[in-house]
Amino acid sequence: MKILIMILTGVLIGTNLISANTISQKRIKNEKEILFPLQDSKNKTQADEYKAYRAEQEKKITDNEKKIAELKAKKDKVKKEKLAAYESKIDNLEKKNKEMKKKIMANYKDEGKEKWESFKKEFNHDMDELGQSLKDLFKDNVQE
């Protein structure tokens, strides 16, 4: 009888350990999916697309930084009465460029194709506006 109780106890303990291990593995898998959603194989192409898009946008941001530096270097050619407004515009453009850099550097979480397309559309629009503002300020500076 004691042997039977010991065997049943051993079986129950073994079952609990196996069950706990399986639950733990499922939890780890779920945590990985939450922490690294784009690492999943079904999202591999989207992760690659995001990386390529991010690299392209980072290059544009770097180009904007160079243009801003050029504009700052040319501020001594601006008339004194327009200098404060000119510096203010440059500061605003620099701030917007930094915001865009933060936005693209943040890890995008996979929330579906629609949200990805919406993110790209909004980001592209904002980048286009920033680029146009830089061009306009540069043109204005050249004309003065």
Q: Which amino acid is at 108?
A: Y
Rounded Cα gap, residues 101 and 126, in angstroms: 12
Half-sphere exposure of residue 33: CA atoms within 13 angstroms, side-chain side: 10
More confident residue, 79 or 93: 93
**Model confidence, pTM:** 0.63
Rounded Cα gap, residues 75 and 90, in angstroms: 10
Place 92 in a pLDDT band, splitting at 50, 70 and 90: very high
pLDDT digits (tens, 9 = 90+) for 103-119: 888 866 667 778 888 88
Average pLDDT, the chain: 78
Residues 44-67: what's their mean pLDDT? Answer: 87
